[in-house]
Chains A and B, each alone.
Chain A
Protein backbone atom coordinates (compact mmCIF):
# COMPACT_ATOMS: atom_id res chain seq x y z
CA UNK A 1 0.00 0.00 0.00
CA UNK A 2 1.32 3.42 -0.99
CA UNK A 3 1.81 5.48 2.11
CA UNK A 4 3.75 8.05 4.09
CA UNK A 5 4.59 6.86 7.58
CA UNK A 6 5.44 9.16 10.43
CA UNK A 7 6.66 8.24 13.91
CA UNK A 8 5.93 8.91 16.65
CA UNK A 9 2.28 9.84 16.24
CA UNK A 10 2.16 11.41 19.67
CA UNK A 11 4.97 12.72 21.82
CA UNK A 12 5.24 14.75 24.99
CA UNK A 13 8.71 16.01 25.77
CA UNK A 14 10.46 18.70 27.77
CA UNK A 15 12.25 21.84 26.69
CA UNK A 16 15.73 21.19 25.35
CA UNK A 17 15.51 17.44 24.91
CA UNK A 18 16.50 16.62 21.34
CA UNK A 19 14.00 14.64 19.35
CA UNK A 20 13.56 13.26 15.85
CA UNK A 21 10.32 12.66 13.99
CA UNK A 22 10.83 10.10 11.27
CA UNK A 23 9.12 10.08 7.90
CA UNK A 24 9.27 7.36 5.30
CA UNK A 25 7.50 6.96 1.96
CA UNK A 26 7.29 3.88 -0.25
CA UNK A 27 6.28 5.56 -3.52
CA UNK A 28 9.73 6.47 -4.82
CA UNK A 29 8.83 10.17 -4.70
CA UNK A 30 11.52 12.74 -5.29
CA UNK A 31 9.85 15.52 -3.35
CA UNK A 32 9.30 15.44 0.41
CA UNK A 33 8.22 18.16 2.81
CA UNK A 34 7.45 18.92 6.42
CA UNK A 35 4.58 21.14 7.56
CA UNK A 36 3.32 22.25 10.91
CA UNK A 37 -0.32 23.00 11.55
CA UNK A 38 -1.47 25.40 14.24
CA UNK A 39 -5.00 26.69 14.92
CA UNK A 40 -5.80 29.72 12.80
CA UNK A 41 -2.53 29.51 10.88
CA UNK A 42 -3.19 26.70 8.43
CA UNK A 43 -0.26 24.60 7.24
CA UNK A 44 3.13 26.23 7.19
CA UNK A 45 6.06 24.64 5.45
CA UNK A 46 9.15 23.98 7.55
CA UNK A 47 11.57 22.36 5.10
CA UNK A 48 11.34 20.58 1.80
CA UNK A 49 13.56 18.40 -0.33
CA UNK A 50 13.52 18.11 -4.10
CA UNK A 51 15.68 14.97 -4.08
CA UNK A 52 18.40 13.13 -2.19
CA UNK A 53 20.91 15.47 -0.55
CA UNK A 54 18.89 18.54 -1.63
CA UNK A 55 17.00 20.38 1.09
CA UNK A 56 15.61 23.92 1.31
CA UNK A 57 14.03 26.10 3.94
CA UNK A 58 10.32 26.66 3.90
CA UNK A 59 8.46 29.45 5.64
CA UNK A 60 9.21 28.53 9.27
CA UNK A 61 12.56 26.66 9.43
CA UNK A 62 13.89 28.17 12.68
CA UNK A 63 14.56 25.54 15.34
CA UNK A 64 14.38 22.60 12.92
CA UNK A 65 16.82 20.53 10.92
CA UNK A 66 16.26 17.93 8.24
CA UNK A 67 18.32 15.50 6.23
CA UNK A 68 17.72 13.53 3.02
CA UNK A 69 20.33 10.82 2.82
CA UNK A 70 17.99 8.32 1.21
CA UNK A 71 15.12 8.91 -1.16
CA UNK A 72 12.51 7.31 1.07
CA UNK A 73 13.37 8.99 4.40
CA UNK A 74 13.13 12.61 5.49
CA UNK A 75 13.52 12.96 9.28
CA UNK A 76 12.69 16.19 11.11
CA UNK A 77 15.07 17.02 13.94
CA UNK A 78 14.38 19.37 16.82
CA UNK A 79 17.78 19.93 18.41
CA UNK A 80 16.49 21.88 21.41
CA UNK A 81 12.69 21.90 21.44
CA UNK A 82 10.83 24.83 22.93
CA UNK A 83 7.15 25.21 23.91
CA UNK A 84 6.42 27.25 20.76
CA UNK A 85 7.18 24.12 18.74
CA UNK A 86 4.15 22.41 20.24
CA UNK A 87 2.17 21.61 17.12
CA UNK A 88 0.76 19.02 14.76
CA UNK A 89 3.41 18.03 12.22
CA UNK A 90 2.81 16.52 8.81
CA UNK A 91 5.22 14.91 6.41
CA UNK A 92 4.25 14.71 2.75
CA UNK A 93 5.72 13.46 -0.50
CA UNK A 94 5.02 13.70 -4.20
CA UNK A 95 6.36 13.19 -7.65
CA UNK A 96 7.73 16.49 -8.91
CA UNK A 97 4.84 18.90 -9.47
CA UNK A 98 2.13 16.44 -8.53
CA UNK A 99 -0.29 15.81 -5.72
CA UNK A 100 1.03 15.55 -2.21
CA UNK A 101 0.55 12.41 -0.16
CA UNK A 102 0.40 13.13 3.55
CA UNK A 103 1.25 11.12 6.62
CA UNK A 104 -1.23 10.88 9.46
CA UNK A 105 0.52 13.52 11.51
CA UNK A 106 2.64 13.69 14.65
CA UNK A 107 1.26 15.62 17.59
CA UNK A 108 4.09 17.07 19.59
CA UNK A 109 3.82 18.75 22.99
CA UNK A 110 6.86 20.49 24.47
CA UNK A 111 6.56 21.28 28.17
Chain B
Protein backbone atom coordinates (compact mmCIF):
# COMPACT_ATOMS: atom_id res chain seq x y z
CA UNK B 1 0.00 0.00 0.00
CA UNK B 2 0.98 3.64 -0.32
CA UNK B 3 3.26 5.06 2.35
CA UNK B 4 0.91 7.94 3.04
CA UNK B 5 -2.67 6.95 3.70
CA UNK B 6 -5.57 9.30 4.13
CA UNK B 7 -8.67 8.81 6.18
CA UNK B 8 -11.55 9.05 5.45
CA UNK B 9 -11.60 8.19 1.77
CA UNK B 10 -14.61 10.45 1.31
CA UNK B 11 -16.13 13.22 3.39
CA UNK B 12 -19.34 15.15 2.78
CA UNK B 13 -20.20 18.21 4.88
CA UNK B 14 -22.29 21.36 4.77
CA UNK B 15 -20.92 24.78 4.03
CA UNK B 16 -19.66 26.47 7.18
CA UNK B 17 -18.71 23.22 8.89
CA UNK B 18 -15.14 22.17 9.57
CA UNK B 19 -13.50 19.34 7.65
CA UNK B 20 -10.80 17.15 9.14
CA UNK B 21 -8.69 14.75 7.13
CA UNK B 22 -6.08 12.44 8.55
CA UNK B 23 -2.90 10.98 7.14
CA UNK B 24 -0.81 8.12 8.50
CA UNK B 25 2.59 6.97 7.38
CA UNK B 26 4.99 4.16 8.16
CA UNK B 27 8.57 5.38 8.03
CA UNK B 28 10.56 8.41 9.14
CA UNK B 29 9.95 11.64 7.31
CA UNK B 30 11.72 14.91 6.65
CA UNK B 31 8.47 16.74 6.04
CA UNK B 32 4.82 16.12 5.27
CA UNK B 33 2.93 18.07 2.66
CA UNK B 34 -0.71 18.50 1.80
CA UNK B 35 -2.01 19.04 -1.72
CA UNK B 36 -5.37 19.76 -3.27
CA UNK B 37 -6.64 18.50 -6.62
CA UNK B 38 -9.70 19.72 -8.44
CA UNK B 39 -11.20 17.01 -10.61
CA UNK B 40 -8.68 15.84 -13.21
CA UNK B 41 -6.43 18.86 -12.76
CA UNK B 42 -2.86 19.16 -11.50
CA UNK B 43 -2.24 19.09 -7.78
CA UNK B 44 -1.69 22.34 -5.95
CA UNK B 45 0.49 22.62 -2.88
CA UNK B 46 -1.30 23.76 0.28
CA UNK B 47 1.10 23.51 3.18
CA UNK B 48 4.35 21.87 4.26
CA UNK B 49 5.13 20.90 7.84
CA UNK B 50 8.61 19.79 8.84
CA UNK B 51 9.32 16.86 11.11
CA UNK B 52 10.37 19.17 13.95
CA UNK B 53 7.14 21.17 13.78
CA UNK B 54 3.89 20.22 15.49
CA UNK B 55 1.38 22.65 14.03
CA UNK B 56 1.13 25.06 11.15
CA UNK B 57 -1.53 27.46 9.94
CA UNK B 58 -2.30 29.00 6.59
CA UNK B 59 -5.53 30.98 6.30
CA UNK B 60 -8.38 28.55 7.02
CA UNK B 61 -6.03 25.59 7.03
CA UNK B 62 -4.46 24.04 10.09
CA UNK B 63 -2.06 21.13 9.89
CA UNK B 64 -0.79 19.11 12.82
CA UNK B 65 1.96 16.53 12.87
CA UNK B 66 2.54 13.86 15.49
CA UNK B 67 5.75 12.04 14.65
CA UNK B 68 5.36 9.65 17.59
CA UNK B 69 2.10 8.39 16.10
CA UNK B 70 3.29 8.87 12.51
CA UNK B 71 0.21 10.84 11.67
CA UNK B 72 -0.91 14.25 10.46
CA UNK B 73 -4.22 15.98 10.14
CA UNK B 74 -5.52 18.76 7.91
CA UNK B 75 -8.33 20.92 9.26
CA UNK B 76 -10.26 23.23 6.96
CA UNK B 77 -12.36 25.64 8.98
CA UNK B 78 -15.58 27.31 7.84
CA UNK B 79 -15.66 25.27 4.66
CA UNK B 80 -17.00 26.62 1.39
CA UNK B 81 -18.44 24.91 -1.68
CA UNK B 82 -15.25 25.92 -3.50
CA UNK B 83 -13.26 23.69 -1.12
CA UNK B 84 -14.78 20.65 -2.85
CA UNK B 85 -11.77 18.71 -4.14
CA UNK B 86 -9.50 15.78 -3.41
CA UNK B 87 -6.86 16.29 -0.74
CA UNK B 88 -3.63 14.34 -0.63
CA UNK B 89 -0.89 14.05 1.92
CA UNK B 90 2.63 13.44 0.70
CA UNK B 91 5.51 12.13 2.75
CA UNK B 92 8.90 13.70 2.18
CA UNK B 93 11.63 11.15 2.74
CA UNK B 94 14.52 11.88 5.06
CA UNK B 95 16.97 11.50 2.19
CA UNK B 96 16.55 13.53 -0.95
CA UNK B 97 13.41 15.09 -2.32
CA UNK B 98 11.26 12.07 -3.05
CA UNK B 99 7.58 12.55 -2.16
CA UNK B 100 5.23 9.61 -1.73
CA UNK B 101 1.52 10.31 -1.97
CA UNK B 102 -1.43 8.70 -0.30
CA UNK B 103 -4.69 7.80 -2.01
CA UNK B 104 -6.46 11.01 -1.10
CA UNK B 105 -9.66 12.15 0.60
CA UNK B 106 -12.52 13.31 -1.58
CA UNK B 107 -14.14 16.27 0.16
CA UNK B 108 -17.58 17.46 -0.89
CA UNK B 109 -18.91 20.67 0.62
CA UNK B 110 -22.61 21.08 0.04
CA UNK B 111 -23.99 24.62 -0.31
Where the two chains meet, the residues of A that have a C-beta atom closer than 8 Å to any C-beta of B are: 4, 30-31, 33, 35, 40-45, 48, 50, 58-59, 88, 90, 92, 94, 96-105, 107
Contacts and interface: CB of A to CB of B under 8 A. Distances in A.
Interface string B66-84: 0000000000000000000
Interface of A is mostly: strand
B45 interface: yes
A58 B100 CA distance: 9
Interface size class of B (residues with CB under 8 A): 20 to 34
A3 B43 CA distance: 12
Contacts of A92: 43
B25 interface: no
Contacts of B88: 42-43
B45 A101 contact: yes
B45 A99 contact: yes
B40 A88 contact: yes
